[in-house]
Structure 1
């Protein structure tokens, strides 16, 4: 019995040669129909369908294909479509390396619902998540339990829109869910001409055009500081450059920010006052312990409560405030933990530097010692050579005896020589 997740796992009991290869699951979004923002590298294009690879599969001859494409081609001809060599689909194919999957996943694509108005551009690896979870143009089930039709996600909170509605421009009847698309694209009377700038726009987008019409009158951006002039929007940029109140414009921006901060502080102060008033009212008998027994002192639903009105509208608000307090404490603890981790990292880094310096010093010392050892070995070899060549006319037996004696003499000679001629390094 082979171990799990090995190539032998999946063999049939009858001894068949087919193996089960685990390829990535096919996505729900049709990746072959996607519109890519940039030109795709030729190395990431399938040689069969000539489209960017989907579930790339590599053969033993190092050719990469789409999983479906190579399976269909192998059913027609069991050879590699590129070099025409015999190919066993089950034994000689596997999922492509991770780097190919990463390159394909980083390609920028447009949302499949771009024809319905979605303008998002995301990486291909995130397109399925965008379409199935976040895209407002994706069709989902109607929120009404008795309706089995679909509606765009952005309209799912408006209730059931599958009822008849009349177009106010052409007086034709359409489903409410399709009425906006009809007025945007197909209604014969959908267009209207602006009386000021003579620009055509969709009728039910009139408010949006009014905010952009260059001929419409608007106030100066410094109106809050005292500028009372009205002018056409196309002249607004030129006026801003010469407006008398532009000098105090930065001060006005700071005042707006300060007002926003003041409002936030007031709201915070009111919330704290409500909490203090609530605790002073003693509607809940608070305890000083943090044990589970302290929860028993709270006034539970169904029990009699004091007649004094609580500063909170409900008990849920009080518990929500406690939750917010705990969340703030957790955030402070998290920041403190991050600070401790930073200090530990700095200490570890400084100690590592010291260790590196010590290792470098030890290495230099070892190098010096190695030089000494090599010099001493060379000197000893030279001394042996001198002893062997000092008396060439002596007989072989005497030489053998002399060789035996020289084994004990060189240490003394070496010591004398070192004292007379120290090594130079």
Structure 2
């Protein structure tokens, strides 16, 4: 049955003639629309349906991958939809196209704001553009009753086949809002050409009477002069208070099973990690003197992986981080402890034995000789043996001091066959060693290095 939406219209040319999209894969356990305009499309569909059972069946068919390639032309979308028994039905859904004068009004609205054009170029459909177009009498999104179905199953209203087609089109709209504009009558290439022409014409148009009557903005001001006058500008309000803690991520523990390869615990951890990082960055931005500080160096992928490992991720994330960094599980745990005590600097001390320069080595040697002076207890002075260019091991104990490039001292403790970070750094070697000291079992043969 035909509803005549495209009667009397000349065949399209160029990309106005239509586009065909390959069949999309099944979509079990996911929504059909993530963008607001995709959801608006589905609302028009669901508001128009007289039989909710047909919608439900159509949604199930779309999820199962029963919808074939979708062809979008001005005023019409078409696809072959297969039933469970393999029977194929051609389904069409019709939508009124915009008249030329409506397109002229839409283009005039779009070129009024640079943001509208930028959004369209980015394949985005900003709500303000749709609202401004509606105010000019141009409805881009379908309303109740605008979507009219036709199907070879001869249903007189929406059937499961045309409903499945509409649900599939919502996924296409999420990917590219120009699908909607083509359905309304203009292809992407033609529309962008029209926008460019309209924008150029608007820029070249002479000022009209309204422009002549506009108040004189006064002479322009150089940027350096404006900056010099900042002291007389109104005082900005105080920034909002810093939250006490990062917000909680949404729970992903739903009745719908996750897609293969997706771990909800891992996603929740990543959301928590992002919120915690955001709070740290915000705290730094609000701290006094932030503008005078040098920006911190960006982390390398390896450093960022260790940083995440230090945040106690679930086992599946820890295993992926270990594999991605080429470390064993134990090696990654040691790296995470080093990061916990000193960030990137602590990780560098764990994994490198740098050779200090002559001046730094002289200061370090003097610090080691004088660190325990004045304690009145020579028995408490540890015997240190050089174990590398910047490492000193305590003889008879499972303790070690490591010198950092900045002259700070890092305490280490032997755990099994490895040296493990045992505390934060200190400018004083005695303080650093004390933070790592605790009752230890009898000393074992010391590992090399």
Larger Cα Rg: Structure 1 or Structure 2? 1
Higher RCO by CA contacts (8 Å cutoff, separation 6 or greater): 2
Please give the TM-score of this superposition, normalised by the length of structure 2: 0.17
The answer to which structure has the higher helix fraction is 1
